[in-house]
């Protein structure tokens, strides 16, 4: 398995160095409470966390900073989660970065569409903190529960 | 030097090139021409149904966005109602585009919260709560408190908690407590309620 | 001896209601939403204009602005309310990005000697930005002589445009201009004052434009790069979005928009795609 970006010290221009972290995660969600909650859980577990309020802002950040994992909501203004993942998977620099999709929708079709758009994993809301952390650990390859 | 002063006439000529011989139509094979046909409808209050149909049927973003902006610019009751119907569409780009467009016409969007809050689909109720969060709380706080007192879906409630946290009303504290009590097994809901209570206290 | 009132005696003072009414009116006419938190700024300028027109009430002044056929007072008001504070080569990483990346991409789709490259600076304020763009291209883009390049510079403020056309600047505005560039493109006008050389002044097309006017914006077409820095921050969500839509129509497919450092297209519109170059993130009109 390849090392997380933050460990292998791959740097993109203009990037400010961060204190040592397990891996760098981008949370893309339009609700403040979700961003706060995920961010607190991940920071406590030793991850570096960045936030974006919609898919387009997420894409802008992903183009400027190297991430180890995207945590992506479905419903967002300007660019929804499916469209974000489709853009990420089309981009040669971003396509290998794993993504966890978070959504309220539990219908079979939505899960199917998430995987089709390029999600590697799908979690339903409300977020279960134990499952969430275990998934992030698994997807970033930093720990084996 | 390579710099050349632009002439107004040159710019105007450039603008007209596309217009010669080929007219914009909503069923034109080229998206820029369909976009121009949509833009030609701006300001026409009778265009609501046509614009909504364009949003549903035309998958090209440049055409859709022109239609959303034209609807937002109309800023009428029928435009808001037409847009609100898109909140239950399957395509998230349509639902979220509708939310953004409704937020741009607050006077006409606020009266729609009540029926949207009674929609069977919890996702539509979430959109209603998010919409309320973008409108003036003076007009939406009562509705948020009322929905908070009866809503049973955990995800609608977590969004309600966030909106109530910003509403600046003392009654929100009791409603937030009942939301917490409704989901004793969900740590995220407890977090959402705590965060909202903290924001209310800071106000 | 009587102590003069600090604001200068008997001038009419505007009330909170007047300011609300004014902001509402000003927004409808220009798309610029004035922040209520800037009351001091708005009050003083509004009171200046009321005094200049010798109006007895705010209402009288507002009807003068609304119904004056030539619109001169409306223009004077816009000039007062829009601030101009800039300098040469401000946020110049975007000009580096222009001459190292964007222009090469644009040129690759054009016929040398035949097609033009059009660059639009909006708002151009007192001219520092369009002149900086012009100098950057002449100095740093190796293919500048192969193409006819037009730089269009627009603003809503006629006084700023007049100063831009004049091209006279104090040393403060030139603090980031290297001496060699200064000596090539400016001529000294006495102590601490410089004027852009005539050739350069003549090569830029300065024009008055109100971005919230669809008819005025419809004149702008076939543009390859738009620099629109620190304008949209004054607008509300819908006006921002409408302006982004106008920019989309003004650009050729594949054309770029550069916004100010603190601005993000991701909160305005999804009609462009972000493009990351080593120097800057810009927004591109998709090809299809």
Q: What percent of chain C has pLDDT over 70?
A: 94
Mutate which: A15, A56, A57, vs C, most C CBs within 10 A: A56
Residues of A in contact with C281 (CB under 8 A): 60, 63-64
Residue entry with tokens 């909202």:
B196
State how far the Cα of C275 lies from the Cα of B37, in Å rounded to an integer. Answer: 29
DSSP type of residue C2: P
**C164-213 per-position pLDDT tens digit:** 999 999 988 998 899 999 999 999 998 889 999 999 999 999 999 999 89
The burial class, CB within 10 Å (0-12 / 13-18 / 19+), for C25 is middle
Interface contact A75, partner B, CB < 8 A = yes
Q: Quick check: C127 pLDDT over 60?
A: yes
Two structure tokens written together for B126: 């979430």
Residues of C in contact with B96 (CB under 8 A): none
**Which among B96, B161, B188 has CB closest to A76?**
B96
Nearest to C210 by CA among C88, C115, C93, C74: C74
Residues of B in contact with A32 (CB under 8 A): 162
Cβ neighbours for B196, distance < 8 A, ≥ 6 positions apart: A33, B161, B162, B164, B165, B172, B176
**B169-190 per-position pLDDT tens digit:** 999 999 999 999 999 999 999 9
| Contact check, Cβ <8 Å, C138/B73 | no
State how far the Cα of C234 lies from the Cα of A102, in Å rounded to an integer. Answer: 35
Cβ–Cβ < 8 Å for C155, C143:
no
Phi then psi for C153, rounded to 5 degrees?
-125, 120
Render each residue's pLDDT in chain B as its tens digit; 203 residues. Answer: 467 665 554 454 455 455 557 899 999 999 999 999 999 999 999 999 999 999 999 999 999 999 999 999 999 999 999 999 999 998 999 999 999 999 999 999 999 999 999 999 999 999 999 999 888 888 899 999 999 999 999 999 999 999 999 888 999 999 999 999 999 999 999 999 999 999 888 76
Q: How far is B195 from chain A (nearest CA, A)?
A: 8
Interface contact C253, partner A, CB < 8 A = no
| Contact check, Cβ <8 Å, A56/C266 | yes
Nearest CA in chain C to A63: C276
| Contact check, Cβ <8 Å, C264/A60 | yes
Phi then psi for A72, rounded to 5 degrees?
-130, 130
**Which among A13, A53, A59 has CB closest to C274?**
A59
Residues of C in contact with B7 (CB under 8 A): 205
Cα-to-chain-centroid distance, residue B92: 12
Q: pLDDT-based confidence at A106, cuts 50/70/90?
A: low
What's the number of CA atoms in the CB half-sphere (13 Å) around residue A52? 32
As beta bridge partners, residue A49 has A25
Q: What residues 103-142 of chain A have any CB closer than 8 A to a CB of chain C? A: none
Q: Would you state the pLDDT for residue C84? A: 55
What's the number of CA atoms in the CB half-sphere (13 Å) around residue B92? 22
Interface contact C66, partner A, CB < 8 A = no
Q: What residues 95-134 of chain B have any CB closer than 8 A to a CB of chain A? A: 95-97, 99-100, 122-123, 126-127, 130
Distances (CA, A) of B31 to B11, B36, C225: 22, 9, 21
What's the number of CA atoms in the CB half-sphere (13 Å) around residue B188? 26
State how far the Cα of C96 lies from the Cα of B30, in Å rounded to an integer. Answer: 35
| Contact check, Cβ <8 Å, C267/A57 | yes
As beta bridge partners, residue C225 has C119, C256
For chain B, give the DSSP string.
--B----HHHHHHHHHGGGSS----TT-SSHHHHHHHHHTTTT-GGGHHHHHHHHHH---HHHHHHHHHHHHHH--HHHHHHHHGGGG-S-HHHHHHHHHHHHT-HHHHGGGHHHHHT-SSHHHHHHHHHHHHHS-HHHHHHHHHHHHHH---HHHHHHHHHHHHTS--TTHHHHHHHHHHH-TT-HHHHHHHHHHHHHHHH-
| Contact check, Cβ <8 Å, B155/A32 | no
State how far the Cα of A5 lies from the Cα of A16, in Å rounded to an integer. Answer: 14
Least confident range from A16-20, B151-155, C231-235: namely A16-20
| Contact check, Cβ <8 Å, C266/A79 | yes
Q: What percent of chain A has pLDDT over 70?
A: 83
Residue entry with tokens 């054009």:
C110
State how far the Cα of B94 lies from the Cα of B101, in Å rounded to an integer. Answer: 10
Q: pLDDT-based confidence at A7, cuts 50/70/90?
A: very low
Q: Quick check: C4 pLDDT over 50?
A: no
Buried b (16+ CB within 10 A) or exposed e, B94-125: bbbbbbbbbbbbbebbbebbeebbebeebbbb
- For residue B183, count other CB atoms closer than 10 A to its CB: 18
Interface contact B149, partner C, CB < 8 A = no
Cβ neighbours for A68, distance < 8 A, ≥ 6 positions apart: A4, A5, A6, A23, A24, A25, A97, A98, A140
State how far the Cα of B5 lies from the Cα of B1, in Å rounded to an integer. Answer: 11
Residues of B in contact with A83 (CB under 8 A): 93
Two structure tokens written together for C254: 């594949």
Nearest CA in chain A to B162: A33
State how far the Cα of B116 lies from the Cα of A70, in Å rounded to an integer. Answer: 32
Mutate which: B83, B87, B88, B92, vs A, most A CBs within 10 A: B92
Q: Would you state the pLDDT for residue B117? A: 96
Q: Would you state the pLDDT for residue B176? A: 98
Pairing, β C281-284 against β C251-259: antiparallel
CA B102-B107-B113 angle, to 5 degrees, is 60
Q: Model pTM?
A: 0.84
Q: Would you state the pLDDT for residue A21? A: 78
Interface contact B11, partner C, CB < 8 A = yes
Nearest CA in chain B to C272: B62
Cβ–Cβ < 8 Å for A70, A62:
yes
Cβ–Cβ < 8 Å for C230, B96:
no
- What ipTM does the predicted assembly reach? 0.89
B169's torsion region: left (phi>0), alpha (psi -120 to 50) or beta? beta
Interface contact B162, partner A, CB < 8 A = yes
Interface contact A73, partner B, CB < 8 A = no
- For residue C100, count other CB atoms closer than 10 A to its CB: 15
Interface contact A79, partner C, CB < 8 A = yes
Mutate which: A78, A79, A93, vs C, most C CBs within 10 A: A78
**SS (HEC) of chain A:** CCCCHHHHCCCCCCCCCCCCCCCEEEEECCCHHHHHHHHHHHHHCCCEEEEECCHHHHHHHHHHCCCCEEEEECCCCCCCHHHHHHHHHHCCCCCCCCEEEEECCCCHHHHHHHHHHCCCEEEECCCCHHHHHHHHHHHHCCCCC
| Contact check, Cβ <8 Å, A33/B183 | no
Cα-to-chain-centroid distance, residue B97: 6
Phi then psi for B73, rounded to 5 degrees?
-70, -30
Q: How far is B105 from chain C (nearest CA, A)?
A: 9
- For residue C76, count other CB atoms closer than 10 A to its CB: 18
State how far the Cα of C189 lies from the Cα of C169, in Å rounded to an integer. Answer: 9
């Amino acid at each position: 398995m390849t090392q997380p970006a933050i460990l292998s010290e791959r740097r993109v221009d203009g990037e400010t160095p961060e204190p040592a972290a397990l891996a760098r995660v981008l949370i893309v969600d339009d609700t403040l409470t979700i961003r706060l909650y995920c961010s607190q859980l991940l920071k406590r577990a030793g991850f570096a966390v960045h936030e974006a309020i919609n898919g387009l802002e997420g894409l802008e950040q992903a183009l400027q900073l190297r991430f180890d994992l995207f945590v992506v909501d479905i419903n967002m203004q300007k660019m929804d989660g499916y469209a974000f993942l489709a853009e990420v998977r089309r981009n040669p620099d971003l396509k290998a970065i794993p993504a966890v999709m978070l959504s309220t929708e539990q219908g079979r079709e939505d899960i199917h569409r998430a995987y089709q758009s390029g999600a590697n994993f799908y979690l339903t809301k409300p977020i279960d903190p134990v499952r969430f952390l275990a998934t992030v650990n698994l997807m970033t390859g930093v720990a084996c529960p | 030097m390579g710099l050349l002063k632009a002439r107004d006439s040159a710019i105007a000529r450039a603008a007209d090139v596309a217009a010669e011989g080929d007219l914009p139509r909503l069923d034109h094979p080229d998206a820029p021409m369909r976009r121009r046909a949509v833009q030609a409808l701006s300001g026409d209050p009778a265009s609501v149904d046509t614009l909504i149909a364009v949003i549903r049927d035309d998958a090209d973003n440049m055409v859709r966005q022109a239609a959303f902006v034209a609807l937002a610019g109309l800023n009428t009751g029928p435009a808001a109602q037409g847009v609100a119907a898109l909140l239950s569409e399957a395509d998230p780009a349509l639902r979220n585009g509708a939310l953004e467009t409704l937020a741009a016409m607050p006077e006409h969007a606020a009266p729609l919260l009540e029926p949207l809050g009674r929609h069977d689909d919890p996702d539509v109720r979430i959109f209603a709560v998010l919409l309320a969060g973008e409108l003036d709380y003076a007009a939406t706080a009562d509705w948020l408190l009322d929905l908070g007192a009866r809503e049973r879906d955990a995800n609608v409630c977590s969004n309600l908690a966030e909106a109530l946290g910003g509403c600046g009303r003392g009654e929100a504290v009791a409603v937030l407590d009942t939301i917490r009590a409704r989901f004793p097994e969900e740590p995220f809901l407890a977090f959402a309620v705590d965060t909202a209570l903290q924001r209310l206290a800071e106000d | 001896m009587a102590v003069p009132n600090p604001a200068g005696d008997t001038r009419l003072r505007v009330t909170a209601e007047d300011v609300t009414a004014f902001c509402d009116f000003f927004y409808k006419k220009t798309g610029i939403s004035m922040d209520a938190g800037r009351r001091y700024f708005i009050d003083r300028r509004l009171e200046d204009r009321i005094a200049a027109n010798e109006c007895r009430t705010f209402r009288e002044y507002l009807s003068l602005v609304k119904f004056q056929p030539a619109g001169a007072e409306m223009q004077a008001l816009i000039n007062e309310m829009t601030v101009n504070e800039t300098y040469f080569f401000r946020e110049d990483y975007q000009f580096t990005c222009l001459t190292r990346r964007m222009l090469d991409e644009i040129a690759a789709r054009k016929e040398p000697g035949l097609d033009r490259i059009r660059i639009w600076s909006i708002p151009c304020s007192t001219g520092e930005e369009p002149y900086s763009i012009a100098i950057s291209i002449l100095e740093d883009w190796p293919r500048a002589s192969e193409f006819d390049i037009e730089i269009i510079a627009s603003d809503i403020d006629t006084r700023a445009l007049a100063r831009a056309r004049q091209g006279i600047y104090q040393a403060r505005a030139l603090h980031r201009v290297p001496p060699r560039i200064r000596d090539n493109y400016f001529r000294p006008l006495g102590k601490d004052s410089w004027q852009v050389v005539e050739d350069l002044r003549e090569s830029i097309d300065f024009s008055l434009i109100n971005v919230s006017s669809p008819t005025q914006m419809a004149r702008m077409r076939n543009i390859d790069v738009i620099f629109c820095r620190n304008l949209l921050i004054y607008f509300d969500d819908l006006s921002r979005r409408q302006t982004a839509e106008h920019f989309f129509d003004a650009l050729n497919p594949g054309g770029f928009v550069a916004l100010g450092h603190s601005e993000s297209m991701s909160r305005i519109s999804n009609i462009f795609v972000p493009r990351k170059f080593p120097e800057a993130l810009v927004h591109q009109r998709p090809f299809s």
